Amino acid sequence: MRPLKACAFLFLSGCFQAANIDWASADGPENQAGSESKVGISFRYRLEQVEQAGFDRDALASTLRGRLNFLTGSLGGFSAFVELDYVAQVGSDRYNAGGGNTPDRAQYPLVADPKGEDLNQAYLQYQADRWKTRLGRQRIIINNARFIGNVGWRQNEQTYDAWSVEGSATGGIDYSLAYVGKVHRIFGNDVPAGDQKHETYLLNATRQFDRVGKLAVYWFDIDNEDDPSVSNRTWGLRLTGQKELERSNFTYALEYARQSETGDNPVPYDADYYRLDLSWGPEYAQVFAGFESLGGQEGDPGQAFRTPLATLHAFNGWADRFSTTPEAGLEDLFVGVKGPLNQWSWYVAYHDFAAESGAAGYGSEIDVSFSRRFADHYGVLLKFADFKGASAAYADTTKLWLQLTADF
């Protein structure tokens, strides 16, 4: 999409938002469905600076995402949803967008926000009393998005061409299942790395247990036909819960998963995953700590635990130094504190990274953020990450973000 088309897209979005549209002129079911239709519009501007050892120049990315979506009302349980995105460069474009989008900018560090348009979601939905199903391009997030997510931090979201079902069964069990035929990744549809064919199945079930917490049981068979090396079959258990204390709150999460190769992955392997999260304190200052381990084998490539569909930015530090698990695996020991301050929210965390196999240390990182919402529609975020590498393979990296949002 050319700049003129991008401007037209943003202008059209504003027209939809400003217009007072009367969708119905009668009382029939078709017109009632029309009256329940909704138009949504949002904008997200981000300025991201990256300083990384080993690159000739620092990256500075100034991008604006406009998003327009439309949800029809329900007619006989059926509804439809469509969502369009456009990411524009506003001023500075001194960054490598990755995935082959900017091959002439190899002197800059990666900021994975390529410009361009995207049909982000487009699906038909049927809603019944205790279940619903969707067919088409859609957002899929399972549990905490550690294995299956939408990579919502990046300007171009990851979505799935899929058929999915979710609902509630007897015995207090909630379930979701999906078949995925294609994954639209954050690099956009202009490069081969942006769209990947799949033969993937995702199953997840949860149940709440009194005085214990919520137990999730999952099974993911990820068969990537365009990149067989990341194809894997994973099953796991995740338990989360909380306990209200006199003047504070205690929460916990425990998780274990086992993974092996599947599809046309040329390397047979087995790897384990462990995670523990604890937090305690009053609302104004919650202390949290945890440990995460992704298995690997030092000196034996292809044995590491893979998370190719994860929302990675939320895990293992905001500097994103571990978007691919090292061959020796990864251990992340972290501690931090977070809470509100007047109208602001704040967050500080420290990570220590090391190999799961062998004695190598990868480095450490400090993450800090401040954020606030204004007038229900607007938001501001200041965010900082500083990674100190223990070797040349994991270079020192500093990232700074300013983000402004508006949604209607």
**Mind listing the pLDDT tens digit for each residue in 158-189?**
999 999 999 999 999 999 999 999 999 999 98
Per DSSP, 11 falls in state H
Distance CA 315, CA 323 (A): 9
Q: State the Cα–Cα distance between residues 156 and 163, nearest whole angstrom.
A: 21
Residue 8: the pLDDT is 40
Residue 43: strand pairing partners: 66, 406
Question: Model confidence over 99-131: pLDDT tens digits?
Answer: 999 999 999 999 999 999 999 999 999 999 999
Nearest to 366 by CA among 391, 345, 349: 349
Distance (Å, whole) CA 120 – CA 82 = 8
Tokens of 219: 């099974």
pTM of the model: 0.89
Strands 173-184 and 38-52: unpaired
Among 183, 170, 91, 189, CA closest to 131: 170
Distance (Å, whole) CA 168 – CA 127: 12
| Per-residue pLDDT tens over the stretch 299-329 | 999 999 999 999 999 999 999 999 999 999 9
Q: What is the pLDDT of residues 349-359, one digit of tens each?
A: 999 999 999 98
| Eight-state DSSP code of residue 230 | G
The tens digit of pLDDT for each residue in 199-241 reads 999 999 999 999 899 999 999 999 999 999 999 999 999 999 9
What b/e readout covers 220-257, taking b as 16+ CB neighbours within 10 angstroms? Answer: bbbbbeeeebbbbbbebebebbeeeeeeeeeebbbbeb
What domains are defined for the chain? 3-407 (2.40.160.10)
Residues 6+ apart with CB under 8 A from 239: 212, 213, 214, 215, 216, 252, 253, 254, 255
